[in-house]
Structure formats: C-alpha cells, structure tokens
C-alpha cells in the first residue's frame, strides 16, 4: 500500500473515532446536568446526547434522635432511630465519641419489623467524664448499601453554655476542658480542682474548718497510676507534705481515694502516672471487649465498623 493511501486510511479512522466518541464525551445538550450533581449518566432515546442523570440523594434512609440535646452528669439519654429498609437479622451499630474523638461507648441494637430501634445511655459512667459535645453515630447496612446517621448532644453544660458539674462533683479543668469527679467531704468544702498533663496530677483546693477527710472517685480515664498493666500507688501531698495514710479502692473504671486532712488545709495534690488525654489501659479494655464483639459480628455480616473513604 502506498504511503498516501496509508495516510488516507489513518485520517478516515481518526475521523470515525472522533465522530463516534464525540456524542458521548464532547457534547452537552442545553439541559445537561453538571457532572457534580450526578455520579453516572444513562444514555436514552435515539439521540445519543440525551443524558438522564443519576442524582445522589441528599438524605439517607436512616434517622437517629435523642430525647434532649443537653444533659447533666446523672442523666439517662434516650436514643431512638428508624431504618427505612429493614434487612432481616442485621443490627444497627451505635458508636459514641466525646469532643476529642475518644470512643466512650459502642453497642449493637436489634431493629424491629417496623424498622425502629432504641437504647439508653447513662452519663454517670466514668467514661463520660469529659464535658462538652458528644456525637452518636449510627451505622446500618453492608458495603455499598451502608447507611450512616449522627446526632450531637452536650454533657455538663448549664444555662448560657458554660460547662458545669453536679453539686456532688468536683470540677477539674485542663486545657479548657472540664471533667467532673464524684466526691464527698467532711470538715471542709472543696472549691475546685485542676489537672496537669505535665505533672500527671490532680490538685484539689479545699477550705477546711476542722480535721476531716475527702473521698474522690476518680475515673481512670481522667487520672490513673500504673506500673506496666498493674495498678501502682498514687503519690499524695497535703499542703505540700507527703501523705501516706490514705486508702485507695480500685475498680475496673475508677480509683476511689479517701484522704484525711487537718484543720486549715488548703490544697491536696494527687500524682499518678497517666492523665487525660491519655487513655487508661483498664478503661480501654472495657471498650475493647465491646468493640471485639462488634468486629466478630461484622466479619459475618459484612458490616464495617468504620466508614470507608
């Protein structure tokens, strides 16, 4: 074949390719929907340039709500939700995170035949010690059919939005974050507390009128003393002097300290080995048990605990 014929053939093939591809990629009718509004187009009718866009829905068929938006430290949160299209045997997964993103609770709920589900959360749990905004995430479905919803609530906020604790709780702050610690005292009053991330300590300010004692139920997620995975002793100072005569009653989620003091005492300092925003090993274990159970079910159902981006 001569060179001229080869060039002519190439030109014909190129023209055919442009004409054939043009309607699909090169033209847009007057009513063409911008690509940002749809994920794919369906070619319809005899005119190949007619595009029927597939619109992404603005709302997903999963709803979630709470009975209130603001709660105190001794509240029960009623959580309800609804799934539009029920998948038999598939539960809804709820995950609650605090203002720093720490997971404080995980649970799976059964969906009834009408698509409804409900549960209750108790804010008195030590894992809910941080004040501020909490987010409840709901997840339902598998793979591409996954649906998600979320709702935000506030814990420990009084009128005007200022963080507050209950009368029987000590307000301790660190980096503008509020933590509420259950306590009782005789022989004086507690006026407040501060947490130090550098010294890993809780400082309690008191006004004592006589000899007495203070009992603090400290969440492990706020302050803890560990040696490896085992509990270690706290170092306690009363007005700067080391205090050995105190009791420490541990539980899986708290360390309850009862510390005696004399008349005129102004400050008690409790020094541990880890403090917020660190996460105590025992408290993490409580969540790990729940998370492992979620993962076990997820492996069978195809449900992903975390969304895929």
Q: What is the structure's pLDDT at 28?
A: 41
Q: What is the DSSP string of 38-99?
A: EEEEEE-SSSTT-EEEEEPPSS-SEEEEES-SEE-TT-EEEEEEEESS--TTPPEEEEEE-T
pLDDT given at position 75:
84
189 and 251 housed in the same domain? yes
Q: Is residue 21 part of a domain?
A: yes
Specify the CATH number for the domain of residue 151. 2.60.40.1930
- At 178 the pLDDT is 79
Are 149 and 197 part of one and the same domain? Answer: no
Same domain, residue pair 45 and 97: no
**Shared-domain flag, residues 183 and 256:** yes
Query: Cα separations (Å) of 195 from 84, 200, 243?
Result: 46, 7, 19
Query: Are 260 and 206 part of one and the same domain?
Result: yes
Same domain, yes or no, for 68 and 105? Answer: yes
181 domain residue, yes or no = yes
User: Residue 308 falls within a domain, yes or no?
Assistant: no
- Domain hosting residue 8, numbered range: 3-55
In a domain, 27, yes or no: yes
State whether 181 and 264 are in the same domain: yes
Note the pTM of the prediction, 2 decimals. Answer: 0.52
115 found inside a domain: yes
What pLDDT score does 42 carry?
38
Q: Within this chain, do residues 173 and 254 fall inside the same structural domain, yes or no?
A: yes
Instruction: Report the alpha-carbon distance of residue 92 to residue 59 in Å, rounded.
Output: 18
Task: Check whether residue 94 and residue 151 sit in a common domain.
Answer: yes
Regarding whether 182 and 148 lie in a shared domain, the answer is no
In this structure, is residue 307 part of a structural domain?
no
Clarify whether residues 79 and 137 are in a common domain: yes
The first and second tokens of residue 138, run together, are 């709901």
Identify whether 77 is part of a domain.
yes
Count how many domains the chain has. 3
In a domain, 309, yes or no: no
Can you list the alpha helix ranges (DSSP code H) found in the chain? 3-25, 281-301
Write out the chain's pLDDT in tens, 309 residues.
Answer: 555 555 555 544 444 444 443 333 333 444 444 443 333 333 344 444 444 444 434 444 788 999 988 887 778 999 999 998 888 888 999 999 888 788 889 999 999 999 999 999 988 777 787 778 899 999 987 644 566 777 777 876 443 334 577 788 888 888 777 788 999 999 999 998 999 988 999 999 999 999 999 999 998 888 999 999 899 999 999 999 999 999 999 998 899 999 999 999 999 999 999 987 644 444 454 455 555 555 555 555 555 544 444
Q: Are 54 and 42 a contacting pair, CB within 8 Å?
A: yes
140 plus 170 within the same structural domain: no
Strand order in the sheet with 62-66: 62-66, 76-83, 116-122
């Amino acid at each position: 074949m001569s060179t001229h014929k080869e060039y002519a053939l190439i030109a014909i093939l190129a023209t055919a390719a442009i004409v054939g591809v043009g309607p699909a990629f090169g033209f847009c009718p007057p009513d063409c929907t911008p690509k940002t509004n749809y994920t794919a187009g369906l070619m319809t009718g005899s005119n190949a340039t007619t595009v029927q866009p597939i619109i992404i829905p603005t709302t997903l068929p999963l709803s979630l709500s709470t009975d209130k938006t603001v709660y105190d430290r001794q509240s029960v949160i009623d959580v309800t939700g609804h799934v539009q299209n029920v998948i038999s045997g598939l539960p809804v997964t709820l995950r609650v995170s605090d203002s720093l993103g720490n997971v404080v609770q995980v649970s799976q709920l059964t969906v009834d035949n009408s698509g409804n589900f409900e549960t209750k959360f108790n804010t008195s749990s030590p894992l809910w010690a941080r004040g501020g905004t909490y987010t409840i995430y709901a997840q339902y479905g598998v793979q591409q059919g996954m649906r998600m919803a979320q709702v935000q609530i506030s814990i420990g906020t009084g009128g005007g939005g200022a963080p507050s604790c209950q009368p029987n709780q000590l307000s301790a702050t660190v980096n503008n974050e509020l933590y509420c610690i259950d306590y009782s005292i005789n022989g004086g009053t507690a006026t407040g507390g501060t947490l130090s991330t550098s010294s890993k300590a809780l400082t309690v300010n008191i006004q004592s009128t006589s000899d007495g004692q203070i009992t603090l139920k400290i969440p492990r997620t706020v302050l803890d003393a560990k040696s490896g995975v085992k509990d270690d002793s706290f170092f306690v100072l009363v007005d700067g002097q080391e205090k050995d005569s105190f009791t420490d009653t541990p539980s899986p989620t708290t360390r309850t300290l009862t510390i005696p003091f004399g008349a005129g005492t102004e400050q008690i300092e409790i020094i541990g080995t880890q403090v917020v925003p660190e996460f105590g090993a025992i408290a993490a274990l409580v969540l790990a048990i729940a998370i492992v159970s979620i993962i076990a079910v997820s492996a069978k159902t195809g449900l992903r605990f975390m969304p895929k981006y």
